[in-house]
Amino acid sequence: MDRMASGWLNGLIGVVIFSGSLPATRVAVMQFDPVFLTVARAAIAGMLALGLLLCFGARRPGRHDVPPLLVVAAGVVIGFPLLTALALQYVTSAHSIVFIGLLPLATAVFGVVRGGERPKPAFWFFAGAGSALVCGFALAQGFTAAPLGDVLMVAAVLLCALGYAEGAKLSRTLGGWQVISWALVLSLPLMILASTWYMPASFDGIDAPAVIGLVYVSLFSMLIGFFFWYRGLAQGGTASVGQLQLLQPFLGLTLAATLLHETVTWTMFAVTAAVIACVAAARKFAR
């Protein structure tokens, strides 16, 4: 298998894993405090990552690697998990998944900025069209009823995209699984301290679905998924492989409907499809 095909395969596996993140977070945040959920998932994943790094004798990042690793940590270890957990207190996972339709576009934009690419003017046209569709959807669904949830989702997408682009660039020299592992380890002391501080006084009354949600976002969303995702981005290119995230809204909406029994309206699918069409068109002019 050539490098490009391997990149797309790894990226696809990562997207499938990430598709369960918002539904799992929605289940967990019903009984766990959003801040505790964020720091606990990072602490659990961080301890596992530390064990992997020691077990495989991974080389330590150089001083010049630390700033981008901190950006990765701020974006995907802390920023996206915390902001989405907070947002899901106000909106359903089905509603939030539509915003994920902007993630491929945002990732491509940060990839352009970090990689120095010069996309054609048509790229920016379709980028603006996709953003307008998402904003219009938020307004139509009652933005005034839950404006904070929508704002939090937009901020989460931007931070996540920045973490993706920075991590993909660093993966070319440090390695895909090493990037997320070192980012988690750098965050680990703070995450352990915060987990202790925000830990509930008692876990009595915490149902199995909430625990399963915490386990999923800790092991798969926070660690395993990134092994495939960063490797795929490094092999096939951020802007190119990043477009596989176009599948994530459809997969996420399906999970929200089947596992959480949330209402998924035809407008959600229509807007998601329209956003995907805009991002797919933008990808054509990304280089």
Domain boundaries defined on the chain: 3-199+223-284
Helix (H) or strand (E) holding 126: helix 121-140
Q: Which of 33-42, 143-152, 230-239, 270-279 has the lowest mean pLDDT?
A: 143-152
**Who's near 246: CB < 8 A, 6+ residues apart?**
101, 104, 276, 279, 280
Q: What pLDDT was estimated at residue 143?
A: 53
Q: Which of 4-8, 85-89, 168-172 has the lowest mean pLDDT?
A: 4-8
User: Is 197 a residue whose pLDDT tops 90?
Assistant: yes
pLDDT, mean of residues 77-97: 83
Which of 51-55, 119-123, 150-154 has maximum average pLDDT? 51-55
Three-state secondary-structure class, residue 145: coil
With CA atoms as reference, report the closest residue to 100 among 42, 149, 158, 145. 158
Q: Which of 67-81, 112-126, 164-178, 230-244 has the lowest mean pLDDT?
A: 112-126
Amino acid identity at 217: V
**Who's near 193: CB < 8 A, 6+ residues apart?**
none
Q: What pLDDT was estimated at residue 90?
A: 84
d(Cα 181, Cα 71) in Å, to the nearest integer?
A: 14
Task: Tell me, yes or no, if the pTM score tops 0.85.
Answer: no
d(Cα 276, Cα 281) in Å, to the nearest integer?
A: 8
pLDDT band at 214 (very low <50, low <70, confident <90, very high): very high
Q: What pLDDT was estimated at residue 188?
A: 95
pLDDT, mean of residues 96-111: 80
pLDDT band at 281 (very low <50, low <70, confident <90, very high): confident
With CA atoms as reference, report the closest residue to 60 among 140, 178, 215. 178
Three-state secondary-structure class, residue 19: coil
User: Is 24 a residue whose pLDDT tops 70?
Assistant: yes
